[in-house]
Structure 1
Amino acid sequence: MPIRRHRPTISEFVDEFQESVIPSAIPTSEFIDWERIERELEAYRVQIDALESLRDVSEAEFVSGLADALMDADDTREWIDFYFELLGHSDTKYAAFEGLWKFYPIQLDIDKGQRDVAEDLAGVLRDIGLQQLVDVTDDIDAHFRGMKVGMETHKRKNRQGFCFENLVYERLENLAEQLRSEGVHVEVIEQYTTKYQDESGQSKVVDFALLQNGETRIVFEANCYKAGGSKPSEIKRSYDRVSTRMREDGVEFVWITDGQAWAKSLTNVLREGYKDIVDVYNMEMVDSYLTDDVRSFFENGAAVSEDEVDVEPQQSLDSY
């Protein structure tokens, strides 16, 4: 049974939710992770200096110089990864019409002293543009920074989730601290694994769990969506199944989600999520309702069942 006591109709819930969504969990100060970029730049200082020494040489000298660097490297794979990363390629292999180069076997062969393998890889790097990059770029440091900034779009997808989970964790810790000050012995656990109490032997790793006296009472999943698509819908269906199984085990399930994707394109998913899971909160709802909902749950047990979510709000429950 859900813990939510503020129980508007589905349409009213959707309106309230969509009017208060946050566009993104990433603050402007973290739009680009400059500290990480500078750390990576300094970590590759030796490799950059080695490339600078190959500026304006012949093609044969360039290949020979790269091969020398690979043969002398303390960490061959680090050098291979850097060369390809400088060209905007981040993977464990390089594939082209001409062939496939898998970095791990190449690393092993070079470490065994096979210079022909080092020269072959150096030739590939020359052919895909590393020598041209060195010759036309006045400042390899500046190119590396620019390349990294260009790749931040992909990294922001992970940072969105990381930042949102941080926001949720801060609020859950504040909630737990407030309850502890009231004599309720609770703790928040991140990345918590809980086993289903059935014969399946299956378990579920959740983003957060709230334990009371060492017993799992409420689990939380946190997701922030900048864009729509199929993933939120798939997550909703998954969480519907998880919430049902958790509640059968006497553990409440709360989905905290936000982001501009919920504003319009995911309205139907939001309606279904509220109807099926009920305990769906965005960040403003967390700030407004969650502490009181959790406190009431610990004091009085769960709220009314999912079946009553579609009725008009009951005044007796409207204590916010």
Structure 2
Amino acid sequence: MKELYLEFLDVENIESVIEKFHDTIIDTNRSYNFFVDWDKVRNNITKYKIEFHILNSLVGSKQFEDDLKEILQKYPQVLPAIPILLAIRELNLKVIKDFTEKVPKVVNYDFNIRNLTPEDIDNIIEFFDKTGLKNLLINMVTKNIYDYAIGVEVGLDSHARKNRSGDAMELLLKPIIEEIAKKKGIQTILFQKTFEYLETNYKIKVNSSIQNRKADFILIKNNKKVINIEVNFFSGTGSKPQEIVDSYIERQNELKNNGFEFIWITDGEGWKGQKNQIHKGFEKIDYLLNLYFVRIGLLEEILCRI
């Protein structure tokens, strides 16, 4: 199997392969769409477009409480849009009214659409005052709530960047793998499925030891050959290189016991200076690639030969 690397990279020994792997490691897997998921922002804002425009009458209001009371009475559908103004998605909020009290009172705010009692309306008016929303709408929002809400959604989306960073390798490689599979006649690509899914949906026997394991990618070639592709990006924080390599060696061993093939694609600055662990990976794992190896066509060649 290592002969494939020597042939494809036109080098004489595995040490040269390891050098090439190490020298082509990248520092980041962020693409331009990492920073803000604009489709998500647009969808979340559009969902409350009418409600934001109704609330917009409060901007610069000279009789804020009366205007807010009228809106809440006539248009209770604005309720779910209110927490968004504070960058909150929950519709049921609990707030301690006064921390200085010996037994602090907890106020429950329900922003689900419903007919409001006079007490509910008074509570929400107090919520606007105490949370600063009243001041925001009278003194700080100069044009309209809709534009302000877009900014809030962009901020909320920044919390999702951690997940996007973790998923970036999958999202980056998914179209590449799909394109290779299309060219090589691999009809089935499963994304983020457990191996049990193979048994349930494709009648492929799976050992109990891996049934509940989730795979980044599962390819089924010629209706019988199963190939698991796992991808990750090692930034240098969290797991140690040795732990990562050992875990994927064990993964391959479990898959081979089931007659499945395994490909590991990894990258990231955490591998810099870790040639011993990279060497161990190449020694114990049949197919180890970084993103450079994928880009120059080695993944395609491997999938062709498996």
Query: TM-score, normalising length from structure 1?
Result: 0.69
- Correspondence 1:202 to 2:205: no
Is 1:32–1:149's contact at 8 Å kept on the other side of the alignment?
A: yes
More off after superposition, 136-145 vs 94-103: 94-103
- Correspondence 1:27 to 2:31: yes
Show CA shifts across 1:232-255 (max 9, x none).
767666544433211111111222
CA distance in 2, matches of 1:112, 1:235: 55
CA distance in 2, matches of 1:153, 1:262: 27
Change (3 A) 1:201 1:257: closer
Q: In structure 2, which of residues 250, 258, 264 is the aligned counterpart of residue 249 of structure 1?
A: 258
Matches within 5 A, 1:168-187: 168-180=173-185, 186-187=187-188
Is 1:21–1:262's contact at 8 Å kept on the other side of the alignment?
A: yes
Q: In structure 2, which of residues 70, 73, 81 is the aligned counterpart of residue 68 of structure 1?
A: 73
Residue 155 of structure 1 aligns with an amino acid whose one-letter code is A
Q: In structure 2, which of residues 55, 79, 85 is the aligned counterpart of residue 51 of structure 1?
A: 55
Residue 141 of structure 2 aligns with an amino acid whose one-letter code is T
Is 1:63–1:126's contact at 8 Å kept on the other side of the alignment?
A: no
Show CA shifts across 1:58-101 (max 9, x none).
564366356436x722xx7xx33x32222223446545544666
Show CA shifts across 1:186-207 (max 9, x none).
5333333323733558332312
CA distance in 2, matches of 1:30, 1:154: 12
Is 2:249–2:285's contact at 8 Å kept on the other side of the alignment?
A: yes
Change (3 A) 1:63 1:243: farther
Is 2:265–2:289's contact at 8 Å kept on the other side of the alignment?
A: yes
Q: Counterpart in 2 of 1:134?
A: 137
Q: Counterpart in 2 of 1:120?
A: 123
Matches within 5 A, 1:1-320: 5-6=4-5, 15-28=19-32, 31-55=35-59, 56-58=61-63, 60-61=65-66, 64-65=69-70, 67-68=72-73, 72-73=76-77, 79-80=79-80, 82-91=81-90, 94=93, 96-98=95-97, 106=110, 111=114, 114=117, 116-117=119-120, 119-135=122-138, 136-139=140-143, 140-180=145-185, 186-195=187-196, 197-199=206-208, 202-224=211-233, 227-230=235-238, 238-263=247-272, 274=282, 277=285, 279-288=287-296, 289-297=298-306
Report the CA distance between 1:51 and its aligned residue: 1.9
CA distance in 2, matches of 1:236, 1:92: 44
Change (3 A) 1:96 1:112: closer
In structure 2, the gaps of 5 or more residues are 7-12, 98-104, 197-204
In structure 1, the gaps of 5 or more residues are 298-320
Report the CA distance between 1:166 and its aligned residue: 3.5
The 3-state SS of whatever aligns with 2:259 is coil
Residue 131 of structure 1 aligns with an amino acid whose one-letter code is K
Report the CA distance between 1:211 and its aligned residue: 0.9
CA distance in 2, matches of 1:284, 1:243: 22
Structure with more relative contact order (C-alpha pairs < 8 Å, separation 6 or more)? 1
Change (3 A) 1:44 1:186: closer
CA distance in 1, matches of 2:239, 2:106: 32
Tell me the percent identity.
Answer: 21
Aligned length: 280
Is 1:92–1:102's contact at 8 Å kept on the other side of the alignment?
A: no
Residue 188 of structure 1 aligns with an amino acid whose one-letter code is I
Residue 170 of structure 1 aligns with an amino acid whose one-letter code is P
Residue 116 of structure 1 aligns with an amino acid whose one-letter code is E
More off after superposition, 204-213 vs 28-37: 28-37
RMSD: 3.8
CA distance in 1, matches of 2:17, 2:106: 53
Is 1:66–1:119's contact at 8 Å kept on the other side of the alignment?
A: no
Report the CA distance between 1:35 and its aligned residue: 4.0
The 3-state SS of whatever aligns with 2:305 is helix
Change (3 A) 1:100 1:287: farther
Change (3 A) 1:270 1:144: farther
